[in-house]
Structure 1
């Protein structure tokens, strides 16, 4: 596919890297000359110098021959204007227009003006995506990753192996034969020392490993409760940083009857927060201040660090753990270091608005036989859900006879609302839904196995 990306910042670059890796034809529009030099040296893509709101620049990018236009610059109004120009210019061309807007309600109101009025097909709203992710993780405090499939019949979770895990040091095949519940789920990946392993039966599970399990939702819940949970009362939520994320999160948590406190260093921001937030305690100070931590008594609290400063977020999470916070969650805007920070013990969960935005953009460029695309929060991997159709090249083939890339694994088959943990003798039948875990290098290979379309892939 041909994809034009408006904006060559951190988000635009990461989207381009992933799309290029999947063999798409990518063009980037950027007005910063210094950044353009970096992009030209870094990416196998055409880089156009110019303003994304200029029709001359957009036409120069060959936008009228594109399949997708992604406006992901750091300027909301520029993104909206660029999308509108592309919409007015495309006439009868089939170009999917995707727009990133951080301050959605500043520009749109369902009673007056909506994205469709600008020809925007799909909106990416980083603020909403991030807040939804945080709440999802808060509702499931003993896991660090969660994905639901096929109307919640199947679920994937990420759990951390504790020192007291009764099956530590045991091969996976022995765990499954010893404990019947583990035979009903699939371990699709192990994260160890920053590396992702797609395990085989003789691989061993160690303390501090992060396991990704997929199976029937009820079974997953039972395993998490019996082996990977500890009692946590997360009624008290302490938010570090008075950012736009803090405001929206505090509003949502207050509706959930949580007791919310926001710590903010800037006195002026504190005053503004007190005006816009009811039933939220605003404290002026630093979340790394030992006196403030003593005053707050943060035991049995969840501390969520979401300031605009990555370093401060990391340090405040460390401080919170030192003072016995039940759970620490840390926002990292630099998506490149999420995996690195994720390996630090004092931080229970790491999330990145940029990474979530990038994942959403990539997901929107995938269509056809896919019913789900779910990139992971902490690792460079994803699960895809594929509907098995009559055009699927491996329809009816036993799994053991399929030449699957080593970087991928079938997690579950959903057939007539039944969740099946596949064995080598199982074959894929018409109407099946298949959940596949895969690393980036396997994407194009797996794509060719399952689908056929005019684009030769997921479009």
Structure 2
């Protein structure tokens, strides 16, 4: 497909790299010559200097032949205008990044009246993920499928769980729970394990299970499963606001530390049920006086990655709180993963995942459709949910007889509201949704799981 991306910030560049790797024809537009010149030379994309809302610039980029235009500049209004012009000039699909809370309640109206295919709000998306994590604080990361009936949860094995040196095949019977271990991270090793794989303490495990079975599993190994009762948030920006708003609805007591007095006054009006504290979030004494040592969760959501990481390390040493750390830059992922700072939230990655999911859905045959897509294991694997619309080479055949690609697992089948971990004699049927976990990148159709 031909895809035009307007805005070469972190999200735009991440999208360009992902889409170019999937062999799409990518065009990048930005008003900053410095941003365009800093794009890696190995990125296979046409670069155009100019205002993405200009009809002439869009025509130069080939909007008449484009399948999709994605506007991810720093301005909500400019993104919407770019999409509106693209619809008129080229009649392509359009995606706009819109972050201002003012527009949040008007998304449906904006999409319908302006004809925009998708609106993505990185902060709201990240806040939703944070709320899931605080609902189930045992996990480092939680991704949901099948409208919440299935979860992909990531956690680290600790000695007190008594899973060291245990084969994967024995986990279900040992914990009396129906779960599937779909990925293991051990240092530089990434594995889609078979039943003979031996687990070790400190491994990062990703499991697929229903919420009930996940809860049974975590209770058996001694992990906390109930949602937190209170949260301390450092940083009252858009992400802090969206997160607090969701946590209030979950009856979680929220305290926000913000160093801008005007913003504190705004938040006190927007979040009347939260406690807003005017102060420096890096003031260790302030955090302790405001109850850090008793906090059940501690969220560092400022605009500075270094500050967020240091604050989480301080909280780790001074509390038993569930830690959530926002990170914007993705260049130091390997270093960050070695730090014990709880769940790390990358809003840019989340945004890219949702847009990539939409692009895959556009590319599909009518036989199946990508309903959900997550980049997992630091982008080295994917978890996808396919909706099965038609009979094909994968339907009505026992899974054991399918010639599946290597490093690929069928993690779950959802049929008429019932969800289970499939076995060899189970079959995929029309109407099912199926979850696939694989290191094979670029799957766009359910038939792509088969060896050719």
Q: Given that residues 147 and 374 in structure 1 are in contact (C-alpha distance below 8 angstroms), is that contact kept between their aligned partners in structure 2?
A: no
Alignment map for 1:250-265 (pairs within 5 Å):
250-265=244-259
Q: Given that residues 145 and 377 in structure 1 are in contact (C-alpha distance below 8 angstroms), is that contact kept between their aligned partners in structure 2?
A: no
Counterpart Cα distance in 2 of 1:333 and 1:253? 22
In the TM superposition, what is the alpha-carbon distance from 1:232 to its structure 2 partner? 6.7
* Deviation string, structure 1 residues 145-202 (Cα, Å, up to 9, x no partner): 22333344433222221221122121212334x52635x3211111222653211222
Q: Given that residues 137 and 227 in structure 2 are in contact (C-alpha distance below 8 angstroms), is that contact kept between their aligned partners in structure 1?
A: no
The structure 1 residue matched to 2:120, chosen from 108, 117, 124, is 124
2:170 paired residue number: 174
The structure 2 residue matched to 1:234, chosen from 205, 216, 228, is 228
1:303 paired residue number: 298
Alignment map for 1:320-331 (pairs within 5 Å):
320-331=315-326
2:76 paired residue number: 76
The structure 1 residue matched to 2:350, chosen from 353, 356, 369, is 356
Counterpart Cα distance in 2 of 1:365 and 1:342? 29
Counterpart Cα distance in 2 of 1:337 and 1:392? 43
In the TM superposition, what is the alpha-carbon distance from 1:426 to its structure 2 partner? 4.0
Distance 1:192 1:119, change over 3 A: same
In the TM superposition, what is the alpha-carbon distance from 1:76 to its structure 2 partner? 1.5
Counterpart Cα distance in 2 of 1:432 and 1:252? 31
SS in 2 for 1:442: coil
1:454 paired residue number: none
Normalising by structure 1, we get a TM-score of 0.87
* Deviation string, structure 1 residues 69-100 (Cα, Å, up to 9, x no partner): 1111122221111111111213xx4x211111
* Deviation string, structure 1 residues 20-68 (Cα, Å, up to 9, x no partner): 2222221111222222223361311222222101111101111111111
CA RMSD of aligned residues (A): 2.8
Q: Which runs of 5+ in 2 are unaligned?
A: none
Distance 1:261 1:433, change over 3 A: closer
Counterpart Cα distance in 2 of 1:27 and 1:43? 11
The structure 1 residue matched to 2:100, chosen from 103, 127, 140, is 103
Question: Is 1:159 aligned to 2:155, yes or no?
Answer: yes
Name the stretch that deviates more: 263-272 or 132-141: 263-272
Q: Given that residues 130 and 353 in structure 1 are in contact (C-alpha distance below 8 angstroms), is that contact kept between their aligned partners in structure 2?
A: yes
Distance 1:449 1:260, change over 3 A: closer
In the TM superposition, what is the alpha-carbon distance from 1:137 to its structure 2 partner? 1.2
Number of aligned residue pairs: give it.
443
Counterpart Cα distance in 2 of 1:247 and 1:390? 43
Name the stretch that deviates more: 63-72 or 408-417: 408-417
Counterpart Cα distance in 1 of 2:446 and 2:415? 21
Q: Given that residues 338 and 352 in structure 1 are in contact (C-alpha distance below 8 angstroms), is that contact kept between their aligned partners in structure 2?
A: no
SS in 2 for 1:63: coil
* Deviation string, structure 1 residues 104-156 (Cα, Å, up to 9, x no partner): 52597479x62333331211112221221111111111112223333444332
1:457 paired residue number: none
Name the stretch that deviates more: 128-137 or 293-302: 293-302
Q: Given that residues 27 and 48 in structure 1 are in contact (C-alpha distance below 8 angstroms), is that contact kept between their aligned partners in structure 2?
A: yes
| Segments of 4+ moved more than 6 angstroms | none
1:412 paired residue number: 412
In the TM superposition, what is the alpha-carbon distance from 1:378 to its structure 2 partner? 6.2
Counterpart Cα distance in 2 of 1:130 and 1:426? 35
2:205 paired residue number: 211
Q: Given that residues 288 and 316 in structure 1 are in contact (C-alpha distance below 8 angstroms), is that contact kept between their aligned partners in structure 2?
A: yes
Q: Given that residues 28 and 46 in structure 1 are in contact (C-alpha distance below 8 angstroms), is that contact kept between their aligned partners in structure 2?
A: yes
Distance 1:446 1:233, change over 3 A: closer
1:244 paired residue number: 238
1:198 paired residue number: 192
Q: Given that residues 181 and 219 in structure 1 are in contact (C-alpha distance below 8 angstroms), is that contact kept between their aligned partners in structure 2?
A: no
Q: Given that residues 352 and 377 in structure 1 are in contact (C-alpha distance below 8 angstroms), is that contact kept between their aligned partners in structure 2?
A: no
Q: Given that residues 393 and 449 in structure 1 are in contact (C-alpha distance below 8 angstroms), is that contact kept between their aligned partners in structure 2?
A: no
